[in-house]
Structure 1
Amino acid sequence: MTQSTLSPEYSRYGKRNRLDKPELLAPAGSLEKLKFAVHYGADAVYIGGQQYGLRSNADNFSFEEMREGVEFAAKYGAKVFVATNIYAHQEDLDGIADYLRQLEAAGISAIIAADPVIIETAMRVAPKLEVHLSTQQSTMNWQAVQYWKDEGLPRVVLARETTMDEIREMKARVDVELEVFIHGAMCSSVSGRCVLSNHFTDRDSNRGGCCQSCRWKYDLHADEQSVSEPGDNLFTMGSKDLCMIQHLPDLIDAGVDSFKVEGRMKSIHYVATVVNAYRQAIDAYMADPEGYVLRPEWVAEIGKAANRPLNTGFFYTVPGTEEHIYEPEEKPAPYDFAAIVLDYDAATGIATVQQRSHFRPGTEVEFIGPGGRQFAQHITEIFDDEGNPLTVARHPMQKIRLVTAQPVEPFDLMRKRI
Structure 2
Amino acid sequence: MLPKLLAPAGNLDKLIMAVEYGADEVYFAGKTMGMRAGGKNFTSKDLEFGIDYCHKHGRKSNITVNIAPHNDDLQGLEEYLKYLQTIGADALIVADPGVIEVVKQTIPDMRIHLSTQANTTNFHSANFWYKQGVSRIVLARELSFPEIEAIVKNSPKELEFETFVHGAMCISYSGRCLLSSFMTGRYSNKGDCAQACRWKYNLVEEKRPGEYYPIDEDEEGTFIMNSKDMCMVEHLQKFKDLGITALKIEGRNKSEYYTAIAVRSYRNALDELEKPESERNTKYWKEEVEKSSHRDFSYGFFFGNPYKDGQLYTSSSYIRTYDVVGIIRSYDKLTGTCVIEQRNKFSEGDTLECFGPKGTHFEVIAKNMQDKDGNKIESAPHAQMTVKMDMDHEVEPYFILRKKVEE
What is the TM-score with the length of structure 1 in the denominator? 0.92
Are the counterparts in 1 of residues 234 and 283 from structure 2 also a CA contact under 8 Å?
A: no
Per-residue CA distance 1:285-318 (angstroms, 9 max, x = gap)? 1x24676635321111111114111111011110
CA distance in 1, matches of 2:239, 2:45: 36
Are the counterparts in 1 of residues 298 and 309 from structure 2 also a CA contact under 8 Å?
A: no
Are the counterparts in 2 of residues 83 and 112 from structure 1 also a CA contact under 8 Å?
A: yes
The match for 1:227 is: 213
The match for 2:255 is: 267
| Residue 78, structure 1, aligned to residue 59, structure 2 | yes
Aligned residues: percent identity?
A: 38
- 1:72 offset after TM fit, Å? 1.1
CA distance in 1, matches of 2:179, 2:370: 49
The match for 2:396 is: 409
The match for 2:226 is: 238
CA distance in 2, matches of 1:230, 1:296: 35
Are the counterparts in 2 of residues 25 and 43 from structure 1 also a CA contact under 8 Å?
A: yes
CA distance in 2, matches of 1:107, 1:71: 8
Map 1:12-411 → 2, pairs under 5 A: 20-175=1-156, 176-222=159-205, 223-224=208-209, 225-228=211-214, 232-236=219-223, 237-285=225-273, 287-288=274-275, 293-329=280-316, 331-411=318-398
Structure 2, gaps ≥5 residues long: none
Are the counterparts in 2 of residues 84 and 113 from structure 1 also a CA contact under 8 Å?
A: yes
Paired letter, 1:257: T
Report SS of the residue matched to 1:83. strand
Are the counterparts in 1 of residues 64 and 93 from structure 2 also a CA contact under 8 Å?
A: yes
CA distance in 1, matches of 2:47, 2:110: 14
Per mean C-alpha deviation after superposition, the further-off stretch among 219-228 and 127-136 is 219-228
Are the counterparts in 2 of residues 195 and 205 from structure 1 also a CA contact under 8 Å?
A: yes
CA distance in 1, matches of 2:105, 2:276: 42
Are the counterparts in 2 of residues 197 and 213 from structure 1 also a CA contact under 8 Å?
A: yes
CA distance in 2, matches of 1:313, 1:125: 37
Paired letter, 1:106: I
Residue 189 to residue 230, structure 1, CA distance change in 2 (3 Å): closer
- 1:116 offset after TM fit, Å? 1.1
Report SS of the residue matched to 2:346. coil
Per mean C-alpha deviation after superposition, the further-off stretch among 211-220 and 265-274 is 211-220
- 1:231 offset after TM fit, Å? 7.2
Residue 416 to residue 290, structure 1, CA distance change in 2 (3 Å): closer
Report SS of the residue matched to 1:370. coil
- 1:170 offset after TM fit, Å? 1.3
CA distance in 2, matches of 1:152, 1:316: 31
Report SS of the residue matched to 1:249. helix
- 1:218 offset after TM fit, Å? 2.3
The match for 1:12 is: none
Per mean C-alpha deviation after superposition, the further-off stretch among 329-338 and 236-245 is 329-338
Report SS of the residue matched to 2:108. coil
CA distance in 2, matches of 1:114, 1:331: 29
Per mean C-alpha deviation after superposition, the further-off stretch among 314-323 and 138-147 is 314-323
Q: State the aligned residue count.
A: 398
Are the counterparts in 2 of residues 235 and 328 from structure 1 also a CA contact under 8 Å?
A: yes
Structure 1, gaps ≥5 residues long: 1-19
CA distance in 2, matches of 1:102, 1:325: 43
Paired letter, 2:323: D
Residue 124 to residue 291, structure 1, CA distance change in 2 (3 Å): farther
- 1:333 offset after TM fit, Å? 3.6
Are the counterparts in 2 of residues 63 and 102 from structure 1 also a CA contact under 8 Å?
A: no
CA distance in 2, matches of 1:378, 1:217: 42
The match for 1:9 is: none
Are the counterparts in 1 of residues 199 and 316 from structure 2 also a CA contact under 8 Å?
A: no
- 1:349 offset after TM fit, Å? 1.2
- 1:189 offset after TM fit, Å? 1.7
Residue 231 to residue 96, structure 1, CA distance change in 2 (3 Å): closer
Are the counterparts in 1 of residues 226 and 316 from structure 2 also a CA contact under 8 Å?
A: no
Per mean C-alpha deviation after superposition, the further-off stretch among 389-398 and 28-37 is 389-398
Paired letter, 1:262: E
What is the TM-score with the length of structure 2 in the denominator? 0.94
Residue 390 to residue 140, structure 1, CA distance change in 2 (3 Å): same
CA distance in 1, matches of 2:303, 2:217: 39
Are the counterparts in 2 of residues 382 and 401 from structure 1 also a CA contact under 8 Å?
A: yes
Residue 290 to residue 343, structure 1, CA distance change in 2 (3 Å): closer
Paired letter, 2:95: A
Residue 401 to residue 336, structure 1, CA distance change in 2 (3 Å): same
